[in-house]
Amino acid sequence: MSNATVASYVDALFWVYYALIIARVFFSWIRLPSGPILMIYRFVYDVTEPYLGLFRRFIPLVGPIDFSPFIGLIVLLIIQSIVHNLIA
């Protein structure tokens, strides 16, 4: 397997995690009914909370606004760039 192929797979994994963080932000804006949507939210929450919780320890809430997803996305983008450059 070539380095370009590995880099493509790694980039895809990063983009999936970006999507999960963005989905979590959207879920936080709506009231969730019970059922399958709540189960999807729980999955998204369980997958993203360990990562976003790291930032929440250092970044306080500003009123009702949680900046941890925004900071988390920026840091994830930087990590993706570093990993991509190391692989490619």
How high is the pLDDT of residue 23? 94
Angle (nearest 5°) at CA 40 between 77 and 9: 35
How high is the pLDDT of residue 80? 94
- pLDDT tens, 16-68? 999 999 999 998 888 877 788 888 999 999 999 999 999 999 888 888 888 99
Residue 44 CB neighbours (<10 A): 19
Single out the residue of 54, 47, 52 nearest to residue 16, CA to CA. Answer: 47
Amino acid at position 61, single letter? L
Angle (nearest 5°) at CA 2 between 76 and 19: 25
Whether the Cβ atoms of residue 11 and residue 80 lie closer than 8 Å to each other: yes
Whether the Cβ atoms of residue 56 and residue 66 lie closer than 8 Å to each other: yes
- For the chain, the structural domain boundaries read 3-87
Rounded to two decimals, the pTM is 0.88
How high is the pLDDT of residue 65? 86
